[in-house]
């Protein structure tokens, strides 16, 4: 019996600074939803093979998404060099362009990111009206300014660890307050009880939270 994981292929996407290394899974289902999953900070060892990125990719795959995860410029086999977020946002946009071309009949378009990747994901969300759901994992509103999310254009979920050693909970609560006051969208905040920033011993809880949210939101379509 052949593992379905053999359908996960390595691809190279044309990006603004050269080619971008990516992993891609194409769903067999017609009009399947699509998702792009973004890596944590390249300067702190982040890659598309980070465990949380891979786990997120897998949960989307298991829910019949066509899903892509990508190495930003200068990471792995991707061309270019780190560009303080601006270039990485352009890379994410190029990856989403590619994913949409491959799946022009998609029923939903999701964006997801972990830590630094969640910042890039939310910035891309503000620029691309076709994105209709997001998943931000371990956002860092104490490090990065999320005030551009006003108004936030679509509903989504922010998943964080209650024991996040890098992000004081007050910053998450403030972001929650700001986003929950916006009409017409619902941004859920899901705190994983014993999790740290990297969900070191809470990866199963993270996958369960992801799976539950994805199933609930795809059932609407």
Over residues 134-145, the pLDDT tens digits come to: 999 999 999 999
pLDDT value at residue 220? 76
Average confidence score pLDDT of the chain: 95
Is 107 part of any domain? yes
CA–CA separation, 160 and 115 (whole Å): 10
Strand, coil or helix: 148: coil
pTM: 0.96
pLDDT value at residue 179? 93
Is 203 part of any domain? yes
Q: Is the pLDDT of residue 172 over 50?
A: yes
Is 136 part of any domain? yes
Q: Mean pLDDT across the stretch 35-56? A: 98
**What's the CATH number where 107 sits?**
3.40.50.1820
Q: Mean pLDDT across the stretch 186-203? A: 96
Is 73 part of any domain? yes
- What's the token pair of residue 216? 């609930």
Task: Find the helix or strand (DSSP H, E) in which 137 lies.
Answer: strand 133-137
Is 2 part of any domain? no
For residue 15, the cross-strand partners are: 18
Q: Is the pLDDT of residue 221 over 80?
A: no
Domain range for residue 41?
Answer: 8-218
Is 3 part of any domain? no
Cis bond upstream, residue 102 (ω within 30) = no
Residues 72-122: tens digit of each pLDDT: 999 999 999 999 999 999 999 999 999 999 999 999 999 999 999 999 999
Q: Mean pLDDT across the stretch 34-40? A: 98
Longest alpha-carbon distance in the chain: 51
Number of domains in the chain: 1
Q: Is the pLDDT of residue 199 over 90?
A: yes
pLDDT value at residue 91? 98
pLDDT value at residue 2? 36
Q: Mean pLDDT across the stretch 125-150? A: 96
Q: Is the pLDDT of residue 63 over 50?
A: yes
Q: Is the pLDDT of residue 6 over 90?
A: no
Q: Is the pLDDT of residue 1 over 80?
A: no
Is 131 part of any domain? yes
Q: Is the pLDDT of residue 67 over 90?
A: yes
Is 96 part of any domain? yes
Task: Single out the residue of 56, 123, 63, 62 nearest to residue 96, CA to CA.
Answer: 123
């Amino acid at each position: 019996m052949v593992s379905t994981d053999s359908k996960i292929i390595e691809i190279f996407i044309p990006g603004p600074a050269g080619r971008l290394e990516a992993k891609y899974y194409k769903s067999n289902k017609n009009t399947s939803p699509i998702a792009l999953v973004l890596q944590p900070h390249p300067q702190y060892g982040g890659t598309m093979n980070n465990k949380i990125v891979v786990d997120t990719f897998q949960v989307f795959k298991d829910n019949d998404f066509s899903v892509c995860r990508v190495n930003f410029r200068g990471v792995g086999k991707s061309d270019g060099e780190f560009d303080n977020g601006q270039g990485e946002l352009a890379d994410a946009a190029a990856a989403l362009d590619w994913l949409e071309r491959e799946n022009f009949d998609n029923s939903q378009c999701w964006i997801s990111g972990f830590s630094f990747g969640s910042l890039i994901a939310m910035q891309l969300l503000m620029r691309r009206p076709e994105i209709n759901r997001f998943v931000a994992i371990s956002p860092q509103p104490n490090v990065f300014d999320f005030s551009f999310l006003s108004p936030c254009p679509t509903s989504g979920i922010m998943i964080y660890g209650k024991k996040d050693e890098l992000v004081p909970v007050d910053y998450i609560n403030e972001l929650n307050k700001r986003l929950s006051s916006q009409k017409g969208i619902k941004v859920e905040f899901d705190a994983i009880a014993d999790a740290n920033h990297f969900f070191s011993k809470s990866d199963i809880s993270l996958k369960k939270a992801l799976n539950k949210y994805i199933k609930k939101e795809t059932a609407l379509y």
